[in-house]
Structure 1
Amino acid sequence: MTTSPTAPDPTMDAIGRAVAEGRAGDVPSARRKLLALWSTIGVTGDPLHRCSLAHYLADLYEDPAQALAWDVRALDAADAVTEQRAQEHQAGLHIVGFYPSLHLNLADGYRRLGSFGAAAEHIEEARAQTDCLPRDAYGDLVRHAIHEVAEAIAARDRTRRASAPGSPA
């Protein structure tokens, strides 16, 4: 996931700029930009665009129900991304590597809403797919978050994790 894109992709670039804006603290502006892009892409648009946008947009919502709706969209879109499409975007990118994070986010959302059974199903799915994660800082981050969310599910803890994306530093 550290290789460069194979061809320019203005939509992915716009998603990246909005995400950076959100991470820099302007969450309302980032959310507006991503929602505008979502309107342009549409529910039948490029699944890689939909997956990426929904995955990042979920992090911009404090409300776990709103975040969960976007996490579900991200997983649905990922199921439609072909390996060829992932490779067209970035050589060395594999869609299977998205699933641990997608299921982690779903588990965390369900946990925060108190739906611990659904949370447990998704955290197990995330765990089952950790072999698809790279052996780097990103992979370590996701593996650690899976462990954190699994512990919170076991404890029936519904509080937002301090290490969750979008949490105040």
Structure 2
Amino acid sequence: MAERQEQAAPDALLTRIGQVVMLHHGGDREEARERLLGLWAELGEDGDPLHRCTLAHYLADTQDDPTDELAWDLRALSAADELTDGRHAGDSGDTGATGDTADAGQEGAVAIRAFYPSLHLNLAADYVKLDRPDAARTHIRRARSACTVLADDGYGNGVRAAIGRLELRLGDGGPGEGGAWGPPRQRP
């Protein structure tokens, strides 16, 4: 019984995050930011990396200041890196983890890999807002490289399209091509 409650708790937090995201998408940015910050305080800096990544990713979208948005997106990337590096919340660094904990960590790492294109895309967009085109290009290239894990579905196609739009905005014709910083190109 206790094991089922432990398994339901992480899902409950993701559900709560999703509910606040719907509030944000409904137009109440300030209330969403306050609620997400409350969840962040509840989770803590050392909470589960998957939850921290998800929460920071959405918290970034509620920020008014581009520097704050960048800080939250960097937190999201850091949490993702923590999970994919094999460091999980509650691990003592012991590599002998087995059973449900290891399985849950593995599932989280797989889920996070699908987040990387979006995480890097958001960082690229942050750097564009902060007039740092070289940093933006670095992250847009990383976003494009990470797309191999995305399915050929609405989400994956949407992320790939957003990467393409930002590449054009940066003056890059596509992956690996250089280009001058400037406004989006107009097609004849």
Range of TM-score over shorter length? 0.7 to 0.9
Aligned twin of 1:32: 34
Q: How does 1:48-127 map to 2 (within 5 A)?
A: 48-82=50-84, 84-85=103-104, 94-127=111-144
- Measured in 1, the distance between the counterparts of 2:33 and 2:104 equals 26
Helix, strand or coil at the partner of 2:52:
helix
Is there any run of 5+ residues in structure 1 with no aligned partner, and where?
1-6, 160-169
Is there any run of 5+ residues in structure 2 with no aligned partner, and where?
1-6, 87-102, 172-179
- Measured in 2, the distance between the counterparts of 1:120 and 1:41 equals 32
Asked whether the 8 Å contact 1:112–1:158 carries over to 2, the reply is no
Query: What TM-score does the superposition give when structure 1 sets the normalisation length?
Result: 0.81
- Measured in 2, the distance between the counterparts of 1:16 and 1:87 equals 22
Deviation at 1:32, TM superposition (A): 0.4
Matched-pair identity in %: 47
Q: CA separation of 1:64/1:85 partners in 2, compared to 1, >3 Å: closer, same or farther?
A: farther
- Measured in 2, the distance between the counterparts of 1:111 and 1:158 equals 11
Helix, strand or coil at the partner of 1:61:
coil
Q: CA separation of 1:86/1:133 partners in 2, compared to 1, >3 Å: closer, same or farther?
A: farther
User: Which 4+ stretches in 1 moved above 6 angstroms?
Assistant: none
Aligned twin of 1:156: 181
Helix, strand or coil at the partner of 1:138:
helix
Aligned twin of 2:153: 136
Deviation at 1:158, TM superposition (A): 8.1
Deviation at 1:157, TM superposition (A): 5.1
- Measured in 2, the distance between the counterparts of 1:20 and 1:36 equals 16
Q: CA separation of 1:47/1:25 partners in 2, compared to 1, >3 Å: closer, same or farther?
A: same
Deviation at 1:151, TM superposition (A): 1.4
Bigger relative CO (Cα 8 Å, ≥ 6 apart): 1
Superposition RMSD in Å? 2.2
Deviation at 1:86, TM superposition (A): 5.8
Helix, strand or coil at the partner of 1:79:
helix
Q: CA separation of 1:62/1:149 partners in 2, compared to 1, >3 Å: closer, same or farther?
A: farther
Query: What TM-score does the superposition give when structure 2 sets the normalisation length?
Result: 0.73
Helix, strand or coil at the partner of 2:151:
coil
